[in-house]
Chains A and B, each alone.
Chain A
Amino acid sequence: MCDQTFLAISFGPCDKCVKTKPLMNIYIKTDQFNYCSLCVEMMANEGLRDNETLSSLKNESETLKCKLEEERAKLHDVELHQVADRVDALGQFVMKTRRTLKGHGNKVLCMDWCKDKRRLVSSSQDGKVIVWDAFTTNKEHAVTMPCTWVMACAYAPSGCAIACGGLDNKCSVYPLTFDKNENMAAKKKSVAMHTNYLSACSFTNSDMQILTASGDGTCALWDVESGQLLQSFHGHAADVLCLDLAPSETGNTFVSGGCDKKAMVWDLRSGQCIQSFETHDSDINSVRYYPSGDAFASASDDATCRLYDLRADREVAIYSKESIIFGASSVDFSLSGRLLFTGYNDYTINVWDVLKGTRVSILFGHENRVSTLRVSPDGTAFCSGSWDHTLRV
């Protein structure tokens, strides 16, 4: 079937009927074609069998959706927190801010840890991307991006490069160098090209591939060296705001969340959406896989976080309280998966017991909304970035 990715209106001869018309640039199974809109329409109708009309298809989709709900409900025999009653409750937690990283001139929008557990990269609205050493609070590198609102940044697994992007619609990779004479901006490589802002990016297991999510509703997998599009993922009906890759042992999937309130799980190799979950009431701001890879959590503007189990194919827990009315912007699990840290727009961070569904602790300290939150790779600390221009570890 026709798959419409980037809609660029150009004028010229159609690949199919050879007439000169306004063309639509479409992708069919990763091959690119330029067809005029009449041919696209005809092709869309060609494949239909006799009794398939728009209304019959709509009916079928409704019945399938109901059937899906029924199937899911059948297996819903018990709630997670009921099963978790057997587990000991957690004691009181005292977590203090150990480091405050100051230096950004404007709101911190995104951050990521390096695999060496001490470095982290953060990006902010003023276009600056800074690499910090969390132990000493020194700034190791700073790059100024040509655009503002750098909404995504990621550290390469090797620790030798960072990727960032935002309103410039592309993802740029900067190799990190300690040579004082080298200008980091000169070595920049533009990897991804989207038709709308870049909302999230992440390296896959190697330095060579990057997965990006964009406001144009698509996610894409790129090869860093050549800048080529390896796979694109369509299905979201609105901006995709976040993505997370499955932990390496469990395979080639990733989950993305968007403004259409859906969280979708994709297969990296085929580009196919494997599962989708639509129980949130508002935009999903952040998704994160459970450490075992069998579940993921999502944080949304509807002030709740939900845990979805992939094998049971349904939502298994909701983390919310009447008193929380501000949207949750970011979420991450502790190393064992027992604790869920969530940052909210009411300037606080809540710590939830994943299994029991109860709140364990609230952390105060930021003076503006918490925009991003990540647990360090060894689980000893977590870092939160906020609109108050600082990061706290």
Chain B
Amino acid sequence: MSSKVSSSNNISQARRTVQQLRIEASIERIKVSKASADLMHYCGEHAKYDPLLMGIPASENPFKDKKPCTIL
């Protein structure tokens, strides 16, 4: 951002910073233990749907290399 006018806007910038910090200080927070537990829960629930985690059988893998067909 332009720094030319920052000197004349120091006051307005400082006011804005203070207002922003006031907003941030007043938000509701939860404990890290609860947040971590929720993250783990989400992982556990969705792990079975995660192909990169579980691996996909080769028959379903759309990206597997196709071998050339042989004519019997």
Contacts and interface: CB of A to CB of B under 8 A. Distances in A.
Interface of A: 1-2, 4, 7, 24, 37, 40-41, 44-45, 47-48, 52-54, 57-58, 60-61, 64-65, 67-68, 71-72, 75-80, 83-84, 86-87, 90, 95, 98-99, 118, 134-135, 216-217, 235-238, 272-276, 290-292, 294-295, 309, 311-314, 316, 334-339, 354-355, 375, 378-382, 393
Contacts of B25: 64, 67-68, 71
A327 B14 CA distance: 32
Nearest to A381: B63
A354 B8 CA distance: 46
Given A1-B16, A4-B5, 19 more contacts: A7-B2, A24-B5, A40-B8, A44-B8, A57-B17, A61-B21, A64-B21, A65-B21, A76-B32, A78-B32, A80-B39, A84-B40, A237-B1, A290-B42, A311-B29, A311-B38, A336-B43, A355-B43, A382-B52
B70 to A, nearest CB: 21
| Most B C-beta atoms less than 10 A away, residue of A45, A77, A118, A216 | A77
Nearest 5 Cβ contacts at the A-B interface: A336-B50, A336-B46, A57-B14, A98-B63, A64-B21
B16 A83 contact: no
A275 B21 CA distance: 9
Interface of B: 1-2, 5, 8-12, 14-25, 27, 29-40, 42-47, 49-53, 56, 61-65
A333 B45 CA distance: 15
A61 B14 contact: yes
Nearest to B25: A68
Contacts of A41: 8
A276 B63 contact: no
A247 B15 CA distance: 33
A247 to B, nearest CB: 11
Given A335-B50, A335-B51, A98 B18 contact: no
Contacts of B65: 98
B35 A90 contact: no
Contacts of B9: 2, 4, 40, 44
A54 B10 contact: yes
12 contacts: A61-B17, A61-B21, A75-B30, A79-B36, A90-B53, A292-B39, A338-B43, A339-B53, A355-B43, A380-B62, A380-B63, A381-B52
